[in-house]
Structure 1
């Protein structure tokens, strides 16, 4: 039988409002399951989710989430003096629907920090299969697919909140720490991605009994763990961009013989499934924030007179007219005999003239010659727009 796709439980961003004086209002909706009739907790979780979504979309840090959430739970309008980012937050609506608490907020957000130059672009992020560390723990409940399905749910969450990342499946398990420079380079060139995410579900075991079970034909309710570990690795610079462990515990109310395959929506409607989904949602938001200002480099794949073909396109957020600085890349051995890249930024600037999904033709600016540029060199987005001669243009000029 075909498995039922997991339904997303958290809605996407609803809209963006712009007011005079360059104020930007973001309206977002968050949802959280109501467990055992506890609407207060569900309301707090839904509010926190809505605040995180607004901050992520605005491109600022989510460090103010708890302060803003606590304020919204006690009043309908909140001025945040200390943040310098969240100017005003208003509670628009709240309601219960189909066992979930929904909260819609409207936030006036003005980033206090300099916007990173790559914020306008989406970095392709390879998502490897989530590994189940101890398969024997999955026997009770038939949870052997929980790693595979958790990876798909995570990718869906990241697509939903991701404005700086672009998840792409990579179906081969990989130990990124064991890759050589040439292997890492091959992955980047073949798949067009600099970043790769690996994850493991380290614990889905059963804990002790919870509550009292008076019926002899059922098993006692027990706690069950869901421990997730996520890492994001930079293939170009051989470094860990993000690493975090997540842990939750929820009640498991089923008999040992009951099958609750995570491939089916029935699993994600359970208290345990909802707790796992909340962990995956939190991880997706953390990854999105971690990768937001990470470097973006397009590779030069072809040179033709005064044009270069770049490995960046519409899917990355590139647009006609975007400008890039060209960078020479050489490979030199270090003192241990390992090959390392040596990068040298040139004075050459190119502007995108044609676009496809994952590629772009860019033409030299100011009639600059590209004779020294070759396939394998790189291109980095410029911080400011440039004129026809390759000089920076002040964005504030009329």
Structure 2
């Protein structure tokens, strides 16, 4: 009799209604040294883990098998879901592979999912901000404002972020037309995250930074400071799929307190200590908090960036919160063409697990565990902390 325990990260949130649904899942395992009983148990365990990926939740499964037969199963999902019945639909042996089909009755309750379980931080690529109308920078001679804005945003994320930190590339502007980004369903190319080892890409776009006209009084002096606009749109993209997962528009005008013909370097303390600069900093701090809320309920997906024999390197390290001894589940990734011949990432779970034995700032390395685990793992496969 063998007890198998599975613990998988939450991949989806539950709604507030109590529901029951039947889910079907397939699992397979290699038959090693003719041990069909062990292969059957491994295949059943894999199929049950697929159920967690379909329904979401922090899933604990306790199964009892005797001679490879499923005799008793109990499930819990952080008091958010539980399984009523499990049925073994079919079993097939082909060559040295045993496959099973299961049917699981999953009950979801009304409790709201609590986020922030992972305690890992995602790396966010912050390129140079784009601006809709560069002529608006002439007022105040705000040279390099796009660069200064990205640097300030990155420093605030580094200081305030609880679920993320920034990879700032303020000198590099992404040569992507805004008209393309505005198209619904547009995906950023995955190489942007690959070359920077970032899990997300944050695109800042300055919509309006114009200054309202002010009538001068006697001798050309101003009676009051003009109001200057600051409208910003931030869009967050997933590094693996390229899909936009969040976008927010911010609007925070403030008085422009400088002389009419003054040149104000955008990276100077004088600018950021002004009412206008402080207003922008408050806005960016709020944006950092909003990004944290988005990422807090999403599992952090690392990737395999190197494999030599059974040793793999993933692009998550000390900066992300990874420590020696942490365990990760590896998930196979495939890129399939859609109807427009665009490649879309599709994940399928494997039995491969790793325990981290070395950590650097931006990466970690480990040995693949088990004979089944080493099969088919390759570069760009996904790593999820368990």
Of 312, 330, 333 in structure 1, the residue corresponding to residue 316 of structure 2 is 312
Q: 1:215 to 1:262 in 2, by over 3 A?
A: farther
**Shift of residue 345, structure 1, vs aligned partner:** 0.3
Q: 1:214 to 1:240 in 2, by over 3 A?
A: same
User: 1:76-134 CA distances to partner (integer Å, 9 max, x unpaired)?
Assistant: xxxxxxxxxxxxxxxxxxxxxxxxxxxxxxxxxxxx842344x3111110001112322
The answer as to whether partners of 1:158 and 1:288 remain within 8 angstroms in 2 is no
Q: 1:311 to 1:268 in 2, by over 3 A?
A: closer
Gaps of at least 5 residues in structure 1 are 1-111, 383-398
**Shift of residue 320, structure 1, vs aligned partner:** 0.8
Secondary structure class of the residue paired with 1:231: strand
Gaps of at least 5 residues in structure 2 are 1-111
Q: Which residue of 1 aligns with 2:140?
A: 141
Secondary structure class of the residue paired with 2:380: coil
Of 250, 257, 280 in structure 1, the residue corresponding to residue 254 of structure 2 is 250
How many residue pairs match? The answer is 269
Larger Rg: 2
1:256-335 matched pairs, under 5 angstroms:
256-335=260-339
Is 1:240 matched with 2:244? yes
Of 204, 229, 233 in structure 2, the residue corresponding to residue 229 of structure 1 is 233
**Shift of residue 160, structure 1, vs aligned partner:** 0.8
The CA distance in 2 between the partners of 1:355 and 1:129, in whole Å, is 30
Deviates more, 1:174-183 or 1:271-280: 174-183
The CA distance in 2 between the partners of 1:341 and 1:350, in whole Å, is 22
The CA distance in 1 between the partners of 2:220 and 2:253, in whole Å, is 25
User: 1:152-209 CA distances to partner (integer Å, 9 max, x unpaired)?
Assistant: 1111111111121110023232439859999723223222112101112221212254
Q: Which residue of 2 aligns with 1:172?
A: 173
Q: Which residue of 2 aligns with 1:188?
A: 193
1:332-371 matched pairs, under 5 angstroms:
332-365=336-369, 369-371=373-375
**Shift of residue 273, structure 1, vs aligned partner:** 1.9
TM-score by length of structure 1 reads: 0.61
The CA distance in 2 between the partners of 1:200 and 1:159, in whole Å, is 20
Q: 1:206 to 1:341 in 2, by over 3 A?
A: closer
The answer as to whether partners of 1:226 and 1:248 remain within 8 angstroms in 2 is yes
Q: 1:144 to 1:349 in 2, by over 3 A?
A: same
Q: Which residue of 2 aligns with 1:159?
A: 158
The answer as to whether partners of 1:195 and 1:235 remain within 8 angstroms in 2 is yes
Secondary structure class of the residue paired with 1:371: coil
TM-score by length of structure 2 reads: 0.63
Of 209, 222, 242 in structure 2, the residue corresponding to residue 219 of structure 1 is 222
The answer as to whether partners of 1:234 and 1:241 remain within 8 angstroms in 2 is yes
The CA distance in 1 between the partners of 2:275 and 2:379, in whole Å, is 53
User: 1:283-339 CA distances to partner (integer Å, 9 max, x unpaired)?
Assistant: 222122222232322222333443322221111110111111111122222233222
The CA distance in 2 between the partners of 1:254 and 1:340, in whole Å, is 50
Q: Which residue of 1 aligns with 2:114?
A: 114
Q: Which residue of 1 aligns with 2:127?
A: 128
The answer as to whether partners of 2:331 and 2:382 remain within 8 angstroms in 1 is yes
The answer as to whether partners of 1:124 and 1:194 remain within 8 angstroms in 2 is yes
Q: RMSD of the alignment, in Å? A: 2.8
Secondary structure class of the residue paired with 2:252: strand
The answer as to whether partners of 2:127 and 2:168 remain within 8 angstroms in 1 is yes
Q: 1:277 to 1:377 in 2, by over 3 A?
A: closer
The CA distance in 1 between the partners of 2:266 and 2:286, in whole Å, is 19
**Shift of residue 366, structure 1, vs aligned partner:** 5.5
User: 1:185-239 CA distances to partner (integer Å, 9 max, x unpaired)?
Assistant: 32232221121011122212122549xx765252343211111111111132232
The CA distance in 1 between the partners of 2:309 and 2:283, in whole Å, is 51
The CA distance in 2 between the partners of 1:270 and 1:215, in whole Å, is 26
Secondary structure class of the residue paired with 1:325: strand
